[in-house]
Structure 1
Amino acid sequence: MSEKVILCDMDLSQLTEYMTENFAVKPFVAGQLYGWLIKGADFADMTNLSKTLRAALSERCVAQPVKIVRTLTAADGTQKFLFELWDGNVVEGVLMKYKYGNTLCISCQVGCRMGCRFCASTLGGLVRNLSAGEMLGEVIAVNALGKDRYVTNVVMMGSGEPLDNYDNTVKFINLLCSEQGLNFSQRNISLSTCGIAPQMRRLAEEGLSVNLTVSLHNPDNEQRREIMPVANAYSVEEVISAARYYFEKTGRRIIVEYTLIDGQNDSYSHAMRLAALLKGMSAHVNVIALNPVKETGLKGTSGVKLQKFLQYLEKFGVSATRRRTMGQDVEGACGQLRRSYLRGEHE
């Protein structure tokens, strides 16, 4: 049996072409179908389509490639979702509520091969990439929960490295921002990378205006290699140079993520070297308290030392704030919920 077609992988024009060629329907029927898809409907719900067409679609296609199978709600209102993909794999997402709207952190891969020591997503390695429609499906699934959880901002900071799934990531951004679809503003999308420098430069040439977030975590190449294997391929200098290029091409300020690990990257000298790297660059540093992952053995910096680090950066003229920690009481760190779910299934 051939693999089913994920309809959410297509924009309206592609879906229209697919439907007219494969199901011999008129273009307006494809428009009706598309309207149902972005609302999170399954084929059975599409009552303005004929039963015959719905049955044929069910045999050959997937309407919603993502469904929510578990929801955890934190004391601060943050919600952690376990998403089951159409093939049984699971990924996770986090919905964070702010005054300006709802931000959904989505996954772009099942697992991850980047090997960052502080991240639970990478502990089992990479299983597979998500398609563009599956990424879109995460947003659609949360939107379907109701207006109070309607997604206004998307951050690609869940499981996986977006630039290691480059083509699907760019396609997802275009699908999300399609005027006929969810009509997102690209400026409400943030893409986080561990620093695949050539792909950062390639992204700069796409003509997009999404926000680029660079997971740096240490300004010293040797020390960065100890926690981020990607640093064996691309030096800090190469990563920052690519980030500068992205800013030059897009005009979008770069966000630098810096997770503080006790005794490893939280000293005065680290702050000074970070400031030197970013000198003359339009950048803002998000200083992050480590979300502990038991298997890594890494310890987060104390709140007092974190505040001192922020003061050091301020002294050196670096724009920096502490990133608000949300959802910590519901396995909020990337990959934790999926990992505990899989352990529970197989133990």
Structure 2
Amino acid sequence: MSLMQHDTATSTPESAPAASADAMARPVAQAPADKPVLIGLDRTELAEALAGIGVPERQLRMRVAQLWHWLYVRGASDFADMTNIAKDLRAKMAEAFSIRRPEMVSEQISSDGTRKWLFRFPPRGAGRPVEIETVYIPEEGRGTLCVSSQVGCTLTCTFCHTGTQRLVRNLTAEEILAQILVARDRLGDFPKGETPAGAAVPSEGRLVTNIVMMGMGEPLYNFDNVKKALLIASDGEGLSLSKRRITLSTSGVVPMIERTGAEIGCMLAISLHAVRDELRNELVPINKKWNIAELLDACRAYPGLNNARRITFEYVMLNGVNDSLADARELVRLLKGIPAKINLIPFNPWPGSPYECSDWEQIEAFAEVVNRAGYASPIRTPRGRDIFAACGQLKSESERMRARDRAAAETAAAAS
């Protein structure tokens, strides 16, 4: 879906400069497929699960609170670590349930410190195990985790690498939360955790400070699971991420935008990328269903919108396509009256992409127009390009390998 889709590979992409590959310091155990996983359950569901293994009703509230604390404050992935819970109950939970992390296939580290993880999850109706990518972007004073919501995508945005991978299935709330938990594990962001030597992370405080639902997939086409995961992520007695530090990016699923504000309460980002319906129909085909006017009307009505809670409009800079100064002026006109900021994103190329990034001088001239109109429009310096972890580059490695094989076969056939 959105622009932060990245690309994880077990080896360095052929077209990219070499990046350091971090040998996994700690093996990540795969959750047993035959046990229900407690990660991602809300408190009511956890109580039901514990009642099912014989926990007395009078103890349920206390046991749920203990379990919630261990899962989301302490980051436990083994029941044996829950030392304030009786051994016999720990044994019962271990026999009935799993809290282990998903399988991590690979971890790549860019020369700029960006990290990309490739996760493998059970089929869950897909016919075979599925893979997704998650990216950690360290910056001064913050660490942003770009989280995926689907395996593949249905939206076929023409500038986005993930859009070339067909949708396989939605991720569950557990699988969405697992990306956050493993990132915090790997970075040493839980109590008693150890940050890898030399890791690029904020110098103090939390290491994962912000969550952006901008990875693989369209979050609003998986609303229930995304909502459940984000409400757990923002729970004050658990992961405790401020809703102002959680941003959900949509390509424009208009009917779900109001529900996002009312039921999740997170920040909103819109993958806009064009100021005319004719062009946006091509770049972001969902525009044929809900056009720019309908999308902006939904933005104006977003619950909680004000100058302190602005909507971010993402705009990828494509050379000769959407980057004229006339486009910049029309963008300003369209957003008039909406508390907003504009995120200008230099296009990140990928194999077979039909576009080129705008010239830097043109990007700066475009930014000057929107800045003069009062919109904060930082130009995002591309991060993680050398490991295909930059905006618009995400794709599961198995799908990438199949694409390489198809391209090689076509080349061989053409040469014969």
Tell whether the structures are fold-level matches, with TM greater than 0.5: yes
Q: Which amino acid aligns with 1:305?
A: Q
Among candidates 146, 150, 162, match of residue 121 of structure 1: 162
* Aligned-partner SS, 2:100: coil
Distance 2:348 2:119 in 1: 21
1:158 deviates by 0.5
Q: Tell me which amino acid in the other structure corresponds to 2:53.
A: N
Greater shift in the superposed pair: 55-64 or 9-18: 55-64
For the pair 1:329 / 2:386, whether they are aligned, the reply is yes
Quick one: distance in 2 between partners of 1:181 and 1:143? 13
Q: Which residue of 1 aligns with 2:39?
A: 8
Name the structure 2 match of 1:306. 363
Residues 172-224 of structure 1 deviation map (CA, whole Å, 9 limit, x = unaligned): 11111122311111111011010111111222332x43110001000100101
Point out the more displaced range, 318-327 or 244-253: 244-253
Q: Cα deviations across residues 22-56 of structure 1 (Å, max 9, x unaligned)?
A: 34364344444434433444346446467776665
* Map 1:78-89 → 2, pairs under 5 A: 78-87=114-123, 88-89=129-130
In the alignment, structure 1 residue 34 sits paired with structure 2 residue 68: yes
Cα root mean square deviation, aligned: 2.6
Match of 1:21 in 2: 52
- Listed one character per residue, the Cα deviations across residues 238-292 of structure 1 (whole Å, up to 9, x for unaligned) are 1111111116556621100000111110011111111110112211101110011
Are the structure 2 counterparts of residues 124 and 56 from structure 1 closer, same or farther at C-alpha, using a change threshold of 3 Å? farther
Is the counterpart of residue 228 in structure 1 residue 284 in structure 2?
yes
Structure number with greater CO (CA < 8 Å, separation at least 6) is 2
8 A contact 1:108–1:169 mirrored in 2:
yes
Shift of 1:63: 1.3
Whether contact under 8 Å (2:77, 2:101) holds in the other structure is no
What residue in structure 2 maps to residue 97 of structure 1? Answer: 138
Residue 148 of structure 2: aligned partner: 107
Task: Check the 8 A contact 2:77/2:100 in 1, yes or no.
Answer: yes
Match of 2:169, SS?
Answer: strand
Q: Across the two proteins, how many residue pairs are aligned to each other? A: 345
Q: Is the 8 A contact 2:103 2:121 kept in 1?
A: yes
Alignment of 1:181-220 (within 5 A): 181-206=238-263, 208-220=264-276
Superposition map of 1:34-73 within 5 A: 34-38=68-72, 39-43=74-78, 45-46=80-81, 48=83, 57=93, 60-64=96-100, 66-73=102-109
Among 252, 263, 270, which residue is 2:320 paired with? 263
1:283-298 to 2 correspondences below 5 Å: 283-298=340-355
Question: CA 1:310–1:334 in 2, change beyond 3 Å: closer, same or farther?
Answer: closer
1:343 to 1:268, Cα distance in 2 relative to 1, 3 A: closer
- Letter in structure 2 aligned against 1:34: W
Could you list the runs of 5+ residues in structure 2 that have no partner in the other structure?
A: 1-32, 124-128, 190-194, 196-200, 202-206, 406-416
Decide which of 185, 189, 208 is 1:144's aligned counterpart: 185
1:102 Cα deviation (Å)?
A: 1.4
Query: TM-score when scaled to structure 1?
Result: 0.89
Counterpart AA for 1:232? K
Q: Sort the Cα spacing of 1:152 and 1:314 in 2 relative to 1 into closer, same or farther, 3 A.
A: closer
Tell me the TM-score normalised to structure 2 length.
0.76
Question: What SS does the corresponding residue of 1:320 show, helix, strand or coil?
Answer: coil
1:280-339 per-residue CA deviation (whole Å, 9 max, x = no partner) reads 221110111001122332111111111111122234444322123211111113574544
2:216–2:394 Cα contact (<8 Å) kept? no
Cα distance in 1 for partners of 2:304, 2:233 equals 24
1:4 is displaced (CA, Å) by 4.0
Q: What residue identity is the alignment partner of 2:281?
A: R
* Cross-structure match for 1:274: 331
| CA distance 1:266–1:33, shift in 2 (3 Å) | same
Could you tell me whether the CA contact under 8 Å between 1:205 and 1:249 is conserved in 2? no
Describe the shift of the 1:262–1:32 C-alpha distance in structure 2 as closer, same or farther (beyond 3 A).
same
Q: Return the structure number with greater strand share.
A: 1
Alignment gaps of 5+ in structure 1: none
CA distance 1:271–1:343, change in 2 (3 Å): closer
